[in-house]
Structure 1
Amino acid sequence: MHDLDGTDMRILRLLAEDGRRPYSEIGDAVDLTPPAVSDRVSRLREAGVIRGFTIDVDRSQLRSGVPVLVRVEPNPDERAAVNERLRDSEAVEHVFTTAEGDITAYGRLPSESAYEWVEETVGVDRLDGYEVDLVADVDWTPSVRGTEFALDCVQCGNTVTSEGTSARVGGELRHFCCPTCETRFEERYEQLEEGV
């Protein structure tokens, strides 16, 4: 699969709204039979466009705590450790890292001081600075609208267009921008398999 057509995008939008939506309902919306929808979803999963189906839990219904945004500026050599500590915290729901390496986390912190929580969870010695903002409302709406999907060539990283190729290598479907990259990847894979 190289290009996603309008039907694929509509299927993705419907699944983003409700990942448990029956294929018969999706088929009615996109004018396909349920088996045809199933085939398209399978191809989207195999291509890596769909990585899995998940649930959207309203965590405010499950636990107490104060909703906050925590923005941290980690020391450059501590970015990975800070990111991992935030991701591992049960209080944190989402972690975002900017291109500059700053990290923003959303979570519901225990009612004690949020600043104390940051100091205990992350460690201020790992940070150049941080701030905590109280969140008044959260509206998390995952969407595929306005998104263009592009597969990357596993050999060189270029975008795979309709001129690209796909091949099953090592049991996985791989995508390539051109036949040359496909050949190079397969040769390298065979060498690694042989232990050269």
Structure 2
Amino acid sequence: MRGLDDTDQEILRLLLDDARRPYSEIADAVDLSPPAVSDRIERLQDIGLIRRFTVDIDRSMLEEGVPILVTVDTRPGTAQDVRDGLAASDSVEYVFRTVDDRVVFTATVPGGEAGQLITDADELNDVRDYEVRLLADTDWSPRVSDAELAAECVECGNTVTAEGESVTLDGEVYHFCCENCRDSFVEEYERLSEGV
């Protein structure tokens, strides 16, 4: 599994700045041909680093309401269910789950209805407490900097280095730190698939 070189990082920076930027413009900036840029972007998608191309909108311009930041304390082991339920809400924009069973999210809701968003969630029994704060403004600015590719081995959890391997099974890409982890995972995957 090849890591990120300087050209990959520059392509990512350019895409973060404007995901609709033409490949020909990116190619000029990184001194490659447009097909070579396309191949690199496709590789970054194949390994799962680029998950999707999306639009970042200012929701406050679309619906009447107030922007809020909510911290939800959940019952132990239920944070993922609460997170999933909130992520499905049309009012919720960003959702984060912490390791200590908290869920933090931003949303735009009609005035005075912040609590209603929580009570409408199917997982209300999993919520112990919540705190709502009004947001003055937000800025979502993901950065690449000089980050190295650090996929996690799905078999053992180690970091996958340049010597690692990837396998596509049923359309999903899995990364492994070594051949042994890959073989063990694929064997178990096939065994479970046969039983279905």
Question: In structure 2, do the counterparts of structure 1 residues 123 and 52 end up closer, same or farther at CA, with 3 Å as the change threshold?
Answer: closer
Deviations 1:69-97 (A, max 9, x none): 11111222643443233222221111111
Q: Which moved more, 1:32-41 or 1:162-171?
A: 162-171
Instruction: Give the distance between the partners of 2:175 and 2:125, measured in 1 at CA.
Output: 44
Q: What is the 5 A alignment of 1:10-89?
A: 10-76=10-76, 78-89=78-89
The residue aligned with 1:8 is: 8
Q: 1:184 to 1:126 in 2, by over 3 A?
A: closer
Quick check: 1:155–1:185 contact (8 Å CA) kept in 2? yes
* TM-aligned CA deviation for residue 123 of structure 1: 7.7
Report which stretch shifted further, 17-26 or 174-183: 174-183
- TM-score after normalising by structure 2: 0.85
Which is further off, 23-32 or 104-113?
Answer: 104-113
SS in structure 1 of the partner of residue 187 of structure 2: helix
**CA–CA distance in 2 between the matches of 1:169 and 1:116?**
41
Q: Output one character per residue of 1:106-154: Cα deviation in whole Å (capped at 9) or x when no partner.
A: 0111123433544444786543222111111111222222533212223
Q: Give the gaps of 5 or more residues in structure 1.
A: none
1:153 and 1:123 mapped to 2: Cα distance?
Answer: 31
For residues 118 and 96 of structure 2, what CA distance do their matches in structure 1 show? 16
Q: Distance in 1 between matches of 2:26 and 2:157?
A: 33
Q: SS in structure 1 opposite 2:94? A: strand
SS of structure 2 residue aligned to 1:160: coil
Cα drift, residue 32 of structure 1:
0.6
Q: 2:165·2:176 contact (CA, 8 Å) conserved in 1?
A: yes
CA shift in 2, pair 1:182/1:71, >3 Å: closer
Evaluate the alpha carbon distance shift between residue 171 and residue 109 of structure 1 in structure 2; reply closer, same or farther with a 3 A threshold.
closer
Matched, 1:176 2:176: yes
Q: Which runs of 5+ in 2 are unaligned?
A: none
- Whole-Å Cα distance in 1 between the matches of residues 186 and 115 of structure 2? 52
Distance 2:155 2:86 in 1: 33
2:101 is matched with: 101
Paired residue for 1:162?
162
> For the Cα contact (< 8 Å) 2:73–2:128, is it kept in 1?
yes
SS in structure 1 at match of 2:180: helix
**What TM-score, normalized to structure 1?**
0.85
Distance in 2, Cα, partners of 1:67 & 1:125: 25
**CA distance in 1: counterparts of 2:39 and 2:105, whole angstroms:** 37
Tell me how large the CA RMSD over aligned residues is: 2.6
* CA distance 1:33–1:134, change in 2 (3 Å): same
Assess if the C-alpha contact under 8 Å between 2:79 and 2:97 holds in 1.
no
> Identity over aligned residues, as a percent?
49
Higher gyration radius (CA): 1
